[in-house]
Amino acid sequence: MPLKSPPPITSARSRRYSLALALGLGLGWLLYLVAGQREGSAFLRGDFPAFYAAAELVWSGQGGELYDFERQRALENRIWPDFAGDYYVFAYPPFFALLLAPLAALTPLAAKALTSLLLVAALLGALRLLRPISDFVRQQFAFTLVYLLTFAPLQISLVGVQNTALTLLLFALVHWAAQAGRPLVMGLAAAMLLYKPQFGALLLVYLLAWGWGNPLPGGGLKALVMGWGLGALALYLLGAVVQGWDWPLTWLMAAGQFGDANFVINDTNMISLAGLVYWIADRGLDLGAAALPLAYLAAAVLMVLSAAYVRRAPARLVLVPPLVLLLSPQTLFYDVTLALQSLILILRPGQTRDFLLLAGIWLYGNVALLLRDTFDVPLFAPLLWVLLAMLVLGERRLTAPGNRP
């Protein structure tokens, strides 16, 4: 007897799923607020102290000391005495600190609350941009929003004021601009991602390859490069306000110093190829950072091969976010949500199998978050590889007759 296809997901069932997730989200927040830790003067501080300390340094006219890590430590411990000498490092470019600076006019609690609200707004903005591109997002908007809000990696990034939602917004803007035929906007959005320089640089490589193979209206590759160049120049000038004209050299030294320590601290939280190689080399071969040149060489080869693959079809733009995550040196697990956002673009709104796929990803993400401190294993790295494989197999849906490119 042939197997019957599962019944399609109706609007009523989708609303029930959304309501169940929303109730779970509300209950989880209530329990966390009642029983969760209250650390220092910023409730549920997460990684926020690093951003607030950078904002305070720039706001108070001490931008020249932005990458003085001992200065960061002293400032964070003054505001959060329970750090007891520990601290979180701010190693982003100085223009990002300048954009954060107004937060220092608020108390840590008010600044954190405002930042969390802005990040939720960024998530909403990302989904609004994706509505014209994705049938799934358009027809299942409420479900998609609640689903992502309850997906553990993104949820913890919102609670801890990590910037994943901002990155989601900028990648969504790239997709929207590609669909709308606006390469200048694509370039500008890619340049804005230079707040994470490894993301912005890799994204430019893939957009150039994609635009080379898929002619763009509205000025084509020249407009894309112009948009990226103008955006990068504006960010450079903003950085110069904080750290002077040679700020890239100062930042590179600080980022290198932080990066060496970050592999040791966060190797099990990384989803990048370099992070996985470091973990295997450190745990299994006792090589640690000595294996990183091999990882970077493999990443470079994979970048060339994957760029050649991406340029062959317009729909392969959806592969770019997970490739950027994989090839960046130190991508943390929060950002696996970017690959999930790409997958959502190719899902079918009424297909039960696609909802079951989302359920499996959601369950794995939440269980992995619960177990990440128990097992000394990068539990989120396999999830990125699986999402990338699903996208490679599924991107043909976007090129089928009647579908959007």
89 and 213 in a single domain? The answer is no
Q: Which two tokens stand for residue 226?
A: 């112009």
Residue 16 lies in a domain: no
Asked, for residue 282, whether it belongs to a domain, the answer is yes
Which residues, 6 or more positions from 202, have their beta carbon under 8 angstroms from its beta carbon?
A: 303, 323, 324, 327, 328
- 221 shares a domain with 166: yes
**pLDDT, position 7:** 57
Domain boundary among 105, 132, 152: 105
What confidence score (pLDDT) does residue 370 get? 86
pLDDT of res. 381: 93
pLDDT of residue 70: 92
Q: Based on the fold, state whether residues 310 and 377 are members of the same structural domain.
A: yes
Q: Residue 57's pLDDT is what?
A: 95
CA distance 77 to 63: 19
Nearest 5°: phi and psi at 386? -65, -45
Closest CA to 144 of 351, 358, 395: 358
Closest to 331 in 3D by CA, of 213, 224, 124, 193:
193
Q: Is residue 19 part of a domain?
A: no
Q: Are residues 83 and 218 in the same domain?
A: no
pTM, to two decimals:
0.89
Mean pLDDT over each residue of the chain, to the nearest integer: 86
Sequence-distant contacts of 393-399: CB under 8 A, at least 24 apart: 394/343, 394/346, 395/313, 395/315, 395/316, 395/318, 395/319, 395/346, 396/315, 397/315, 397/346, 397/348, 398/314, 398/315, 398/318, 398/345, 398/346, 399/313, 399/314, 399/315
Q: What is the pLDDT of residues 224-239, one digit of tens each?
A: 999 999 999 999 999 9
Where do we find the tokens 């939440």?
Answer: 366
Q: Band the pLDDT of 319: cuts 50, 70, 90.
A: very high
Per-residue pLDDT at 24: 57
Least confident range from 43-47, 214-218, 298-302, 367-371: namely: 43-47
Let me know if residue 17 belongs to a domain.
no
Q: Where are the alpha helices (DSSP H) in 151-192?
A: 152-159, 164-180, 183-192
Same domain, 207 and 297: yes
Q: Is 378 within the bounds of a domain?
A: yes
- Which pLDDT score, from 0 to 100, does residue 400 have? 39
Same domain flag for 303 and 349: yes
Report how far residue 282's alpha carbon sits from residue 267's, in angstroms, rounded to the nearest whole number. Answer: 9
Q: Are 365 and 357 contacting, i.e. CB atoms less than 8 angstroms apart? A: no
Decide if pLDDT at 105 tops 80.
yes
- The angle at the Cα of 103, spanning 102 to 107, to the nearest 5 degrees, equals 130
pLDDT digits (tens, 9 = 90+) for 38-76: 444 444 667 899 999 999 999 999 988 999 999 999 999
The residue out of 105, 128, 146 marking a domain boundary is 105
The boundaries of the domain holding residue 55 are 44-105
156 and 78 housed in the same domain:
no
pLDDT value of position 183? 93
User: pLDDT tens across 330-345, in order?
Assistant: 899 999 999 999 999 9
Number of domains in the chain: 2
